[in-house]
Each structure stands twice: as structure tokens, then as C-alpha cells.
Structure 1
Amino acid sequence: MQKCNLAVDIGASSGRVLAGFLKDGQLQLDEIHRFENKMENQNGHLCWNIDKLYEEVKLGIKQSVEKGFNPISIGVDTWAVDFVLLDEQKNRLTDAVAYRDHRTDGIMEEIFSFIDQKEIYKQTGIQFQPFNTIYQLYALKKEDPMIFDQAHYFLMIPDYLHFLLTGKLSNEYTNATTTQLLNAESEDWNSEFLENLGIPKHLFQPPMKPLQTLGPIREELKEELGVDLQVILPGTHDTASAVMSVPATETIYISSGTWSLMGVEHEKPISSEEAFSYNFTNEGGVHHNIRFLKNIMGLWMIQEVKREYQDKYSFQDFVDLAYKETQFDSTVDVNDARFLSPKSMIEAIQSYCKETNQLEPKTPGELAVCIFNSLVESYHAAAKQIEELTNKSYPSIHIIGGGSKNNFMNEKLAAKSGKEVYTGPTEATGIGNLIAQLIATNEVESVEQSKEIIRESFTISKF
């Protein structure tokens, strides 16, 4: 049986279980199991079906064994900010409410009335998004004040899946930084903010750094799944894992998927007035560094347009259609709040164009070119801000993740920015998850070696 590591990578629309192993100095991947993930209405909120996700993880482990693999470790990464609370018996108290739910509407501004906004940024270094965990927790407290009398443990989504696998409680560091509740300097939970919010600090575990072994899976799972494997913490925030797969240093990266995360790896947080005004974030990296980046709305917009057309067009179809509509030049601010969770993305785009005295996109091709050009404009602006804030010039932009396959945007960005644009690998997050496990088990010695392995293992294109 082929020894391997398993990466569980769950995004906002799908999840996958990947087997990875080194062979002749190259990282080999085998997609074991792919499954759907979507928000569902539960108890009046948009939620993730966390129990189903756990069953899919177990199914992926089973199928890896059935395919002839001998998995020795596993790690889970997901999107950031969302969480569940457990009671004293470690049973789940709350639904896994999704960040696009409207429970946080107006909450951020309410908190600013008693915690200074600039002080939040100064202490956490995290950009302001209305769905950050800090605002979700306060919204939950307003909705159900008694819940915190019963709650004993706070776990983010991958923390909870790791708990179900091992029975061990942990709050992994890279994801914990996204809550806007971690002090950037001490790298521990911010007692002052939690007290001001009325959230008990005892709910939180000391942040645990990635590249550590959490422990073996539970005994009953060993019997059920027919395998004995260790749970190793990758960067459980999917962007932290994705950035691990950038096969270069001294470059601006874009982790391109539902969201576009654009930034650089940096030694220390940058929490200056300018960084605050540009709304940049300082998230924890896997190797005790900082991912200094900006959240950009990303391909969520075209995903929603695709859904509204009842999946009549593939993502590649939209790229092809965009090439035919290059004369259409209306653009939108992709970070406008109206695009976060609209009833109709098409109507939201059209209304923005109408309000700004631009032509409204009517056809699938016009909508696609509007979205893609708007994203390129946003990337170009963010790249200039990154160079200003770091006082450094970067010769290239490296795009990883599924969005790296969009050659229309790749070509436009290279032309707009005047920088070399590199793309790949596409399975960036799963690869970064696996690399973390290989480093933790000493099969890969260093970050430098991991980047060389990635360059040798996957196709990297240049524009």
C-alpha cells in the first residue's frame, strides 16, 4: 500500500480530500473524494451543514484506504471566521452560522461605539469585515444572551472537525488571527476586547501553532475507518495553506477563488495609519510570519452569475464570452457591500452601473467582462498599495488557486500592472496543507525545499 498524507480542503462551494506523497522528489496528488458544500437555512440563519461535512471527511478517509493508500496523517483547512460553541460535555450548542448571514448587519458599527476602531486595528492588525468573528460573537450574544452561560468551548470550523476526529480541543493560530480577537504582538486572545464584549475568555484555547501533531484519531474511528492516522495541524485557514504553495519568494501573491486574497509574506505586522486606511490585514502565517494582505471579493461574483443562469455556462464559457466583449468597459467596485450577499448578483451589478452612469451589462459576456475587468482594476490598485505600505517594489504577481486558470484576467493583469504574472498551482490550498504535514513529519526539511518541490511538481505559467 502506498504511504500518503491526506489533506482535507473545504471551501465555500466544495470540499476535497487529497492524497499526497513524495516520489522522485516530486509531490504526487490523487484526488480521493470531492463533495459539495453550500449554505443552508437552519433556524432562521444561513448555516453550513457541519455534520455532513464531517461525514464527507470520514468517507474520504475510507475511500483512500479502498484505493490502496496507507494514510499516516491528515489535516483539515477551511475558510476563516466561522465557529461553533460547545457545552461543558463538549456537545455542540450552536449551528455553524455562515459569514454571509445577515445577523452581523450593523454590528460592527455598534461595537465601534464602545471599542475604538483604530484601537482594534492597532492591537489586532486585522482588516474590518462585517462578518469577522468578533462581530459574529457579539451578534450571537445579542440574539441569545443566555448561550454564554452554557458555552464552555469556542472552536472554529476546522478546529471542530479536528475535535471530532481526535477528541482534542484546539484553536489553531492562523485561523485564530482572522477572528479580530487575537493580539498581534502577544499572539494570544485579547482579554480587554473580550471583557468589553462580555464574551468569557475561558471559551478559548491557547492558540496552537501549525506544523504540530494534535494526536491520533479516536479509537472508535480507527475501527470504523480501518486506519490509524495522526492529525497534524496545517494552516487551518485555507489562505494560510494556499500561501504555502507559492513557489517563489519576493513576489505579490493572489490566492484566487471565491475570495481573492492579495498580499505578501512579511516578518512583522504592519498596523500603520496608512494600512488602516487601506484596510489591509495581518494574518498569521504557517512559518511564524505574517500574511500582509487584502481581502477582495473575488470569483464569488461570477459564481453567483453562473448560478443565476442555472449553470448553463461553465466558468471557462464565461472566460470565452469575455474575450468576445472586450469593448464593453463598465466596471464596478468589487468590494462594495452590495456584492457580499445579494438576492441577485446580476441586478446588483446592473444597479451599480446605472448609479454610476455606465452601461448596464445585459448579456452573459458583458457581465463576465465587467466582473473580470473590475477584479483586475482592484488587483492593480491593491498591488500599488502593497508596494507603498511595504516600501518595496515587487517585479511579479503570482496567482494560485482555481482562479489562476482565468487567462483573460491573467493577460489583463500583466498588461495593466506592467509586472510578470505567474500562475499555478491550481490546487494550491491542498498542496500547502500537504506540505505542512510533510514538514511536520520531517519528509521535507525547509520552506526553501518545499518551494523547489512545488516548482518541480506542477506547471507554472508566465504572462
Structure 2
Amino acid sequence: MAEITYYLAVDIGASSGRHILGWMDKGKIRMEEIYRFENKLEKRNGHLCWNLDHLFHEVVEGLRKCKELDRIPESVGIDTWGVDFVLLDANGNVLGNTVAYRDGRTKGMDEEVYKVISESELYGRNGIQKQLFNSIYQLMAIKKEAPQLLARADRFLMIPEYLNYRLTGVAMNEYTNATTTQLVNAKTQDWDFELMEMLDLPTKIFGELNMPKTVVGPLSSEMAARVGFQTTVVLPATHDTGSAVMAVPTNSDDSIYLSSGTWSLMGIERLIPDCTELSRKHNFTNEGGYHHRYRYLKNIMGMWMMQNIRREFKHKYTFEELYELAYIGRYFTSTVDVNDDMFLAPESMIKALQAYCEQTGQEKPETECELLYCVYRSLAKCYAKTVAEIETVTGRKYDTIHVVGGGCQDKFLDRLLVEVTGKDVYAGPIEATAIGNIMAQMLRDHVFEDLKEARQVVAKSFDVKRIASERE
């Protein structure tokens, strides 16, 4: 019997992380979650921060689980959310707290940047959608509030890169996540050092950008002893959306993807970036993808709103019960702009929804049914608007939407998407980010010839369902 070759994806999101083993079996990718842990924001010195020591501890515990199960991975890849980073001093120690993107420290930092370069000129260089939490604005906040940290900084690492550094001792920057900083030139696909100098940011701290499939290195001897085995750390698309988009189960150019989770990322793949003023005005982003592709998409608030509303309900409804409640609330017509800053990190999502409706002269949602349908309808309208804008900017029609990620399990939202767009909608695979992470490792190991073949295997390996409209 042939020995199985395992690959380990460590997929860390804003609320939880998972260790998922993947392997090939009879021409299909098989996967199993072997470890799960909690991730959450903590308040430190008045800021919302990540607990990196906790995250690293959990990464190690998941590796130890592989040893316990006697399923030693050939390689390991780590992906997380984008934009957040650490600054290291010359001794490799973290400087300051790892402040999270949902923190309010970046308020007004866009204006600080625009004193140096206009918004349109900035977009012309990097093609990245303006989000006030992007790394460029976080760095400007540090420059203003704690310039001594930047002065002492020797290295800039995104969150997954820092975890890789703790595992291997190798500090290595990765391309797809770096593009979320708004400091990478869209055309050269390299750091924009000229822009950094304009903003008086230290260029020396930014290392060479490496593409997915690049080997970071073996576990350090200390780490190998700690987990009980040796393996190789490989770069996936370390930005979770970059990995999720790799796992979209189609090679068609006529489809739109929706990576649905805490955030919704909706867009298409392109081989050439679009940094035009028309693209900027529609607020699209050109994030880096696998093998020099561009993820031309919009960041939409996504299931974050639903997750927070659910937490505030006194009764802990099942998802099926939530769908039924939302269906009952279909009479309710008020909608909100899901991307409004007031929904980014409110103390109460319910109060934020009610306040928005009052401020815009709409009926305020009161019941659980109204609150749920208000969010569902608002998300669906935002998706439909984004589809229309993609078609306007690209000058072409798309016939299919592929919904991937955990949010694809939301039957009510999937059906609404069919209704508001009139497109064929397919849901799955659910674990798209982990699948994409494992695909990059398998591509590095020559399991697949190229991404096209890998996607064909994904399409036959995982459950992908066509969503019927309510009328069907």
C-alpha cells in the first residue's frame, strides 16, 4: 500500500483557526480538520490588538496533534487575514502591540497620506481599494503616535509571515498578502519604495517579495524538537482570500467569485491590473493572486454583521432557524450600506443598524425577523450592485457566480443572490481557503501540472451545488 503524503493548511481567521490535513486519494483531494482554536481581539492600552503569543502557541499545538495522530505533513502553509503586521527590532523582538485593523487609530490617516500624494495618484500606483484600515494608514498612525517604533524597526512582517518566522527563524515576505498593504506597485508587483520615501517610511524594513509555492525553510531545530518531527514551511497565498480564490472550482472566464465569510470578497481574476480612474471611482481593488494573477474585487462587510447580530440575540438560534426568521421578515424594506464604517466594530450591531436607518429616514428594524432581513437584503443589494459594476468596468457580461467559503452554506443568502442577480449561482467548496492553501503546497510538490489542473481536481473532489431560485 502506497504511503500517503500529507500537506497541512493552518488557516487562521478573525475568530478562529484550524489545522487541516490534505492528501490525494484516487485522483481527488481529501481533507480532515484535526485541530481548532479560538482567536479574538483584546483591548491593550486603549487599542484592539491580536494576541500573537496565543496564536503561535495554538499553531504549535496543532503541529503536535499531527505527531499524536502519526500523520506527519510533507509541508505546512499558514494563511490569515490581510493588512495587519508586526514590526521587529534587530533582535527579532516585536515592537509595541500588534494593533488590529478594526481599531480606530487610523481615523484621519488617509488625509495625512493625501497631503503627500492624491487619492487618484495613489490608486494609479497600486490599484488597491481605499480601506481606512489598510497597512499604509496603520503605518502612518504609528509614525504619528509612536515614531520611535518605526525608528527602531528592522523588519516588517505580515501576521502569517511572523508565524513562519517563529517556526523557522526565516523572515520572508509574501506577495499576495503584501498587496493588501497598499504599498506594492500593481505593475511591477514589487514594493513601491519611491512611495515609501515620499511618505517618509523606512524602506529597509521591507524584504524581497516571494510568490506562493516558495519554500520558507525547515522548522528550526528547537521547533522540530518541540513538535516531535521535521517538516518544511511553504508559502501558500498567505492572504486567506488569495488562497480561497485559488480554490474556485472553475477555469471559465465567464464567472464571478464570491468568497463568503466574515468578509465578502466579490470579483474576477485578471492578468492585467486596472488602475484607471473609472476603476477607482467604483472602488475596486487589484490584489495579488497566485502566479502573477490579479484578484480584481471589492471588499464587502459580509457575514460579520450577521455574526454580531446572532451573538446579541437572547436565544441561540440554529442557522436553519435564522433563515426561517429572515424569511418571515421579507416585508421589511429598510436597507443599509453594509460598508459604512459604523458597522466595522460597533459595541452593538443591532443599535448600529437601528441608528443608520434612523439617520437615513428609514423605518428602524425592531424584531429579530426585521433585523435579520435588513442585513440579508442589504448584503444581497450590495452583491447585485457589485456584479453590475464589474460588468460596467470590464464591458462584458458574466453568466455564473461561484460562492466559496463558509458563507456558501447560508441557503437564504444564496437564494437571494440568485434572485437579485439573475445569474446561475453555485455554492462550494466550503473550506475554500484551506483547499487553496493545500493546492499551493501540492503545486510546489508537482502533484498538479498547473492551477488549471488543480481547479479541475477541486471541482470533482468537493460538493458544489447549483442554487435554485425560490420560483424553481
Question: Alignment length, in residue pairs?
Answer: 463
TM-score, scaled relative to structure 1: 0.98
2:58 maps to: 56
SS of alignment partner, residue 304 of structure 1: helix
Match of 1:382 in 2: 386
RMSD: 1.2
Residue deviations 1:187-242 (CA, integer Å, cap 9, x gap) = 12112221122211000001111111111111111111111110110000000000
Q: Deviations over 1:32-51 (max 9, x none)?
A: 11111111012221011111
**In the TM superposition, what is the alpha-carbon distance from 1:2 to its structure 2 partner?**
4.3
Show the counterpart of 2:313.
Answer: 309
What SS does the corresponding residue of 1:324 show, helix, strand or coil? helix
* 2:405 corresponds to which of 401, 404, 410: 401
Q: Report the Cα distance in structure 2 between the residues aligned to 1:259 and 1:241, rounded to whole angstroms.
A: 14
Indicate the SS of the match to 2:241.
helix
Distance 1:316 1:192 in 2: 52
Counterpart code for 1:420: D
Question: Among 323, 337, 343, which residue is 1:319 paired with?
Answer: 323
In the alignment, the residues of structure 2 paired with residue 147 and residue 441 of structure 1 have an alpha-carbon distance, to the nearest angstrom, of 40
Give TM-score, length-normalised by structure 2. Answer: 0.96
C-alpha distance in 2 between matches for 1:127 and 1:316: 35
Task: State the partner residue of 1:78.
Answer: 80
Matches within 5 A, 1:99-138: 99-138=101-140
Residue identity matched to 2:46: G
Tell me the equivalent position of 1:98.
Answer: 100
Aligned to 1:152: 154
Counterpart CA distance in 1 for 2:437 and 2:152 is: 34
Question: Which stretch has the larger CA shift, 384-393 or 253-262?
Answer: 384-393
Alignment-mate amino acid for residue 390 of structure 2: I
* Distance in 2 separating the partners of 1:316 and 1:403: 14
Amino acid at match of 1:77: D
The more displaced of 140-149 and 116-125 is 140-149
CA distance in structure 2 between the partners assigned to 1:60 and 1:456 by the alignment: 28
Question: Tell me, what secondary structure is at the counterpart of 1:408?
Answer: helix
Is 2:12 aligned against 1:10? yes
In terms of mean alpha carbon deviation, does 316-325 or 162-171 score higher? Answer: 316-325
Measured in 2, the distance between the counterparts of 1:306 and 1:193 equals 42
- Tell me the equivalent position of 1:169: 171
Match status 1:198 vs 2:200: yes
> Which stretches of structure 1, 4 residues or longer, exceed 6 Å deviation after superposition?
none
The whole-number CA distance in structure 2 between the counterparts of 1:460 and 1:148 is 47
Following superposition, the deviation at residue 310 of structure 1 comes to: 5.8
Alignment map for 1:270-281 (pairs within 5 Å): 270-281=274-285
User: SS at 1:72's partner residue?
Assistant: strand
Q: Give the 3-state SS of the residue equivalent to 1:176 in structure 2.
A: helix
| Contact 1:65 1:71 (C-alpha < 8 Å) held by counterparts | no
The residue type paired with residue 59 of structure 2 is V
Q: CA deviation at 1:113?
A: 2.1
C-alpha displacement at 1:357, in angstroms? 2.5
**Does residue 227 of the first structure (1) align with residue 241 of the second (2)?**
no
Alignment gaps of 5+ in structure 1? none
Q: 1:27 maps to what in 2? A: 29
Report the 3-state secondary structure (helix = DSSP H, G, I; strand = E; otherwise coil) of the residue aligned with 2:353: helix
Question: 8 Å contact 1:35–1:56 — kept in the other structure?
Answer: yes
Question: 1: CA distance between counterparts of 2:152 and 2:116?
Answer: 26
CA contact (8 A) 1:325 1:365 kept: yes
Partners of 2:174 and 2:361 lie apart in 1 by 47
User: Do the aligned partners of 1:86 and 1:94 also contact (CA within 8 Å) in 2?
Assistant: no
State how far apart, in whole Å, the 2-side matches of 1:314 and 1:178 are: 34
Amino acid in structure 1 at the alignment position of 2:120: K
Return the offset for 1:10: 0.4
CA distance in 1 between counterparts of 2:328 and 2:70 reads: 46
Other-structure match for 2:341:
337
Q: Distance in 2 between matches of 1:310 and 1:35?
A: 25
